[in-house]
Amino acid sequence: MKKMQENFGHDLSALSIAFMIISVAACSESPEQDITASGQDASSLQMASVDIRSEESLGIRAVADETVDIDMSRIYNPELKDIFAYIDGHIDEHVLNLQRWIQQPSISNTGEGIQESAFMVKGFFDQLGCQKTEVVDVGITEWGQQGNPVVYANCDEGKDKTLVLYWMYDTMPITQPDLWKSLPFEGRLVEQAPYKKVMIGRGASNSKGPQMTQLNALMSIKAVTGTLPVNLIIVAEGDEERMSIGYRKFVRDHPELFEGADAMYRFGGQGGIGGGSEGSVFVELITSGESWGRGPTYSNIHGGRKRQVDAPAWRHIKMLSTLVDETGNKVMIDGFYDNIEALTAEEEIALRKAAEGVDLEVAARNLGVARFISDDPYEVLKMSKAGQSINLDGIWAGNMFEGGSGAILPNRIVSKHNFRYVPNQDGMDIVDKLRKHLDKHGYQDVEINVVGDVPWARMRYDTEIAEAVMLTFDTFDLSYDEPVPGQDSILGGYWPAYLFAGDVLDIPIAGGNAGSGGNAHAANEYFVIEGAGGTYGMAGGEKSIATVLYNYAGMNTPTEGGEAK
Amino acid sequence: MLISSKPFALKLLVIACVAGLAAGCSDTTDQASNIGMESAAAAASASEPRLGIRPQGDEELTIDMNQISNDELKNIFNYIDENIDDHVVNLQKWVQQPSISNTGEGIQESAYMVKGFFDQLGCQKTQVYDVGITEWGQQGNPVVYANCDEGADTTMVVYWMYDTMPITQPDLWKSPPFEARLVEQAPYRKVLIGRGANNSKGRQMAFLNTMMSIKAVTGKLPMNVIFVAEGDEERMSIGYRKFVREHSDLFEGVDVMWGGGSSEGCVFVELITSGEAWGRGPTYSNIHGGRKRQVDAPAWRHIKMLSTLVDETGNKVMIDGFYDDIVPLTEDEDRYLHDLAKNMNVDVAAKNLGVARFIADDPYEIQKMARAGTSMNLDGIWAGNMFEGGSGAILPNRIVSKHNFRYVPNQDGMKIVDLLRKHLDKHGYEDVEINIVGDVPWARMDDNNDLAKAARKMRDIFGVGSNEPIESETILGGYWPAYLFAGDVLDIPIASGQVGGGGNSHAANEYFIVEGAGRTYGMAGMEKSIVTVIYNYLGLNESTQYVAAVEATQGQL
């Protein structure tokens, strides 16, 4: 499937994309009826989109079925009110902007659409009027792979404060095309209770939806006021799903491009205030007959030969089984759990408080899991915010045609593993310990390929940017997990925070805005377009971002509101 | 590649397009379709048809013509030599048509292509049968049946498989798997590279070429032939099983089968672990791999489960009772294996097979494992993120692995599945699903029947020699679905014999030897050996006839 996607990756016209979608379906054993129907829908929808842009409307309700609303008495600056009205008046276009972006695949694990996407994103920043926009080839990165281009934009509005916006333009690949209820690169709007309209598509939630929400907000501010409340430096990476290998090199090579940055604001959702990050190191384990000196050496051979030939695949299974306990939840590598710092009392309190509102059954259903490892909300929250793990992200070898019996003795088997780690564990130290573990168990021949490492990053939240976000949440009637007060913490969820949290730069970071989505890295990834209940839709998200920026710029105070602009 | 006639050129153009499409889905490089185009261009421009195949290649062996007593045979040999280019092109065209039972690609087209072969041969009845849903739940692939009544005394059933393995490692092929390129591969000046070249289009096309040659020279076949060609050999012969069991009437009066002889048994299962069945972990689709911290992993469960099935070496099956019921080899069988071991160069054998070494270093032990061993293999496994070099974090909701068990008398395939189920339950894996793809029981039979004797005689004539056969019934013949004609539905002698060959079955760079070298015959030699076996078997190559033939010749002079 990988090569096929590459073949079609250069075709940008709607028709080609429609064909691509059909082809994907054809190769992935979807029922033929669905292929035809969906394929036609895809192209007609796209053609219709063009017409809609000129005359008709998607009929998106900017304020839909939300039961929360914005406390307008705290929107002091009339500019913001105008911006809100502008957003409401242009929400159809804003949704189409997202749809078009999702229709452009940008899959860093395969390379599909990456180059096109980089230039598409550069175009976004050109449209925004940034003086400097650039697609930067980062070259070969630290662990040996070519990095994907980084898109950099500098938008100098002559303002006092400069905010860095972190973006990722890559998405996950499609691993289970048959489980999608609409095609992953169609960007179809569907009803999904309780939402009348969500957009389904790869990258919808992670992270084109939240990022297009930002861009739409910025474009709206500019349309209404002619400027932005802050200077912006935008850095968009294409390797987030490859351990940010290109981004790492770019920021380390070009600290001068971030001179004068006061803080970083990252896209997010209304789930809470983000900023800090756990660590993650990602490796591939490879067992082959060639390095073992037993079994097939060049290619797979006939599976009937197992009787007289050793099996690298069985060796890999036995090797993997030494890495975790029977439950699969405890890492059996010597020293893995060393160096872990206990949570502080404040962190414990924050977790306990956050656990109070958690309904595990609803959380499990939303995540698409039968249940969590633990049934105690506090334990589950602690695992998710401060836990450690070795995952089996993928594995492949030999005959992968379900239902077939073609006998194969594989010469090579690969599995993928991400370790999540916390202070003061260290990614490269974990790789060393893994190597020692393998050697100790007699697997000296098993190869470890480091894809990349993203260290944890501690962050404080008593900062102007975090306060601007929290103030916005209050104004939008959104509850949020209290960030850990008065100290730095990793509690915030994984992302490559570290480069701006001490590694290259050291500036305050916060993320958060109204709006939501789900199924990141899963089938049927979605972004909420029309909100419902306590969840805002896309328009609400855009308004919240405008509010954050005005709050941060000090332009939404009662004083500010008093001045007629 | 030079190709003869214009109609064929057009056909090749279509095939090139098909290959191009296939390349899109099967990871073949773009080069594949480009090469296809060049082939078509070459075909269009070439009016003169010469691949320039040398029928005798660089063979050091020769056929002892003193033992070829029937002039028909000599004429057929000549005909084969003269038409060897066409015969190789026939094989090329067949290899260029994918026929992958594990994916379904090209299966329907292939069934009708094969029916066409039998029509060309002049068989009165040729039919593509839809076998419907088979015993273990899957739709069977069509079976092609042909009845060629020559009014002869003897009727031979010829077993064919028209399906091939899928392509699992396209980047390891030195020429695209559906191009059927002729390349030099020491010591052979010309081998044909392609999926199915050796398993089994090469020798089957050699058989068809032989039949066509006999017919071209003599006007008829010396026996009646019933062809049965299955499209499920790489799916445990599920459709073939149903077809033969339901249509025993189509094989009434058959005397002998051209096939692989006796066979070990094989049962093939898939093991599936899912969050849905387990009640832990992701249930609908993969989820984000970062969730491993708080969510259980069906994939890790599968690994722990699999690791209970074999010992540390991966070579011993740890399922209680698996090795029960195994009948020890007879002295004669043991002697046969020792004979085989005598001529075995283990290093060369390992190199030819593409392995670093065998489990054992003792040739006899290797032969014993290969011919009478038992095993549980890990044929394939997949889950989650399979993009090498990527780090997209995934917690898979479902993981599947494939396993073929090879078993011997008196083990039983379905009993092995029962024992596996018990093993999983005992270890707490009640939720792990076993999906039976199919079972092919072992077939114990006399590998020294009249047809086998005719083949042995051919080997003498062709100078390749053979080991002393086992005089009693045995399974030491290699795996294939023999059982249906070895007691299950019919019970007739089965054997075949031909010189020549190929390699890399189920591997990358599968090949068929077109021009022989050293002690290995090429395609022409193979065809000649087939007709010699058949004439031997039918008593048409006796010295009396030789005398008569000589007299007739002298009379003419």
- Predicted-complex ipTM score: 0.88
Whether residue A560 is predicted with pLDDT greater than 70 in this model: the reply is no
Instruction: Tell me the residue ranges of DSSP E strands in A289-393.
Output: 301-302, 389-390
Q: Identify residue B81 by its one-letter amino acid code.
A: D
* Strand A195-200 with A526-530, pairing: antiparallel
- Unique residue bearing structure tokens 């669905």: A34
Q: Please spell the DSSP secondary structure of B127-168, one letter per residue.
A: EEEP--B-TTSSBPPPEEEEEE--S-S-EEEEEEE--B---S
- CA-based nearest residue in chain A for residue B373: A307
Least confident range from A171-185, B29-43, B82-96, B521-535: namely B29-43
Put simply, whether B385 touches A (Cβ < 8 Å) is yes
What pLDDT digit, counting tens, does each position of A264-294 carry? Answer: 999 999 988 889 999 999 999 999 999 999 9
- CA-based nearest residue in chain B for residue A441: B312
Q: Are A364 and A377 in contact (CB under 8 A)?
A: no
Which residue, A44, A304, A333, A531, is CA-closest to B353?
A304
What is the end-to-end Cα distance of chain B in Å, rounded? 43
Task: Considering only residues B386 and B14, tell me which one the structure prediction assigns the higher pLDDT.
Answer: B386
Nearest Cβ partner for B268 among A27, A405, A449: A405
Least confident range from A14-23, A505-514, B227-236, B477-486: namely A14-23
To test the contact with chain A by mutation, choose from B175, B387, B476 the residue with the greatest count of A C-beta atoms within 10 A, namely: B387
CA B315 – CA B310 distance, rounded (Å): 7
Is A328 in Cβ contact with B301 (below 8 Å)?
Answer: yes
Least confident range from A432-436, B487-491, B548-552: namely B548-552
Q: What percent of chain A has pLDDT over 90?
A: 84
Is B391 in Cβ contact with A369 (below 8 Å)?
Answer: no
Is pTM beyond 0.95 here? no
Band of pLDDT at residue A486, cut at 50, 70 and 90: confident
Say what angle helices B298-307 and A312-321 make with each other, to 10 degrees. 110
Whether residue A203 is predicted with pLDDT greater than 60 in this model: the reply is yes
- List of chain A residues whose C-beta atoms are within 8 Å of the C-beta of residue B315: 310-311, 314
Nearest Cβ partner for B356 among A297, A395, A449: A297
Q: What percent of chain A has pLDDT over 70?
A: 89
- CA-based nearest residue in chain A for residue B406: A304
CA B48 – CA B179 distance, rounded (Å): 21
Whether residue B29 is predicted with pLDDT greater than 50 in this model: the reply is no
Is B290 in Cβ contact with A406 (below 8 Å)?
Answer: no
Whether residue B21 is predicted with pLDDT greater than 60 in this model: the reply is no
Determine if the peptide bond prior to B410 is cis (ω within 30°).
yes
- CA-based nearest residue in chain B for residue A321: B304
- Mean pLDDT score, B316-337: 96
Task: Considering only residues B503 and A483, tell me which one the structure prediction assigns the higher pLDDT.
Answer: B503
- Unique residue bearing structure tokens 């007709």: B531
Put simply, whether B505 touches A (Cβ < 8 Å) is yes
Tell me the β-bridge partners of B400: B272, B382
Token pair for B229: 């060609």
- CA-based nearest residue in chain A for residue B304: A321
| Residue-level pLDDT at A51 | 43
What pLDDT digit, counting tens, does each position of A426-468 carry? Answer: 999 999 999 999 999 999 999 999 999 999 999 999 999 999 9
- Mean pLDDT score, A121-150: 97
Is A3 in Cβ contact with B28 (below 8 Å)?
Answer: yes
| Residue-level pLDDT at A272 | 86
Token pair for B358: 């065998």
CA B282 – CA A2 distance, rounded (Å): 25
Token pair for A483: 């960030």
CA B36 – CA A177 distance, rounded (Å): 30
Query: Given its phi and psi angles, is residue B446 left (phi above 0), alpha (psi -120 to 50 degrees) or beta?
Result: beta
Whether residue B5 is predicted with pLDDT greater than 90 in this model: the reply is no
Q: Please spell the DSSP secondary structure of A177-205, one letter per residue.
A: GGG-SS-TTT-EEEEETTEEEEEESTTII
What pLDDT digit, counting tens, does each position of B255-310 carry? Answer: 999 999 999 999 999 999 999 999 999 999 999 999 999 999 999 999 999 999 99
| Residue-level pLDDT at B350 | 97
What pLDDT digit, counting tens, does each position of B374-429 carry? Answer: 999 999 999 999 999 999 999 999 999 999 999 999 999 999 999 999 999 999 99
Whether residue B548 is predicted with pLDDT greater than 90 in this model: the reply is no
* Strand A412-421 with A389-390, pairing: antiparallel
- Unique residue bearing structure tokens 């509005």: A157
Whether residue A563 is predicted with pLDDT greater than 80 in this model: the reply is no
CA dihedral A533, A534, A540, A545 (to 10 degrees): -170
- Mean pLDDT score, A374-402: 96
- Tell me the pLDDT of chain A averaged across its residues: 90
Cα B279 to Cα A371, A519, B487: the distances in Å are 7, 19, 45
- Mean pLDDT score, A411-438: 98
Whether residue A320 is predicted with pLDDT greater than 50 in this model: the reply is yes
| Residue-level pLDDT at A21 | 31
SS3 at position A399: coil
Is A280 in Cβ contact with B290 (below 8 Å)?
Answer: yes
- List of chain A residues whose C-beta atoms are within 8 Å of the C-beta of residue B480: none
CA A404 – CA A384 distance, rounded (Å): 39
| Residue-level pLDDT at B343 | 86
Is A372 in Cβ contact with B294 (below 8 Å)?
Answer: yes
- List of chain A residues whose C-beta atoms are within 8 Å of the C-beta of residue B382: 395-397, 400
- Mean pLDDT score, B314-323: 98
What pLDDT digit, counting tens, does each position of A162-202 carry? Answer: 999 999 999 999 999 999 999 999 999 999 999 999 999 99
| Residue-level pLDDT at B7 | 38
Instruction: B17-21: list long-range contacts, CB under 8 Å, 24+ apart.
Output: B18/B96, B18/B97, B18/B98, B18/B106, B19/B96, B19/B176, B19/B178, B19/B179
Q: Identify residue A504 by its one-letter amino acid code.
A: V
Task: Considering only residues A484 and A472, tell me which one the structure prediction assigns the higher pLDDT.
Answer: A472
| Residue-level pLDDT at A155 | 98
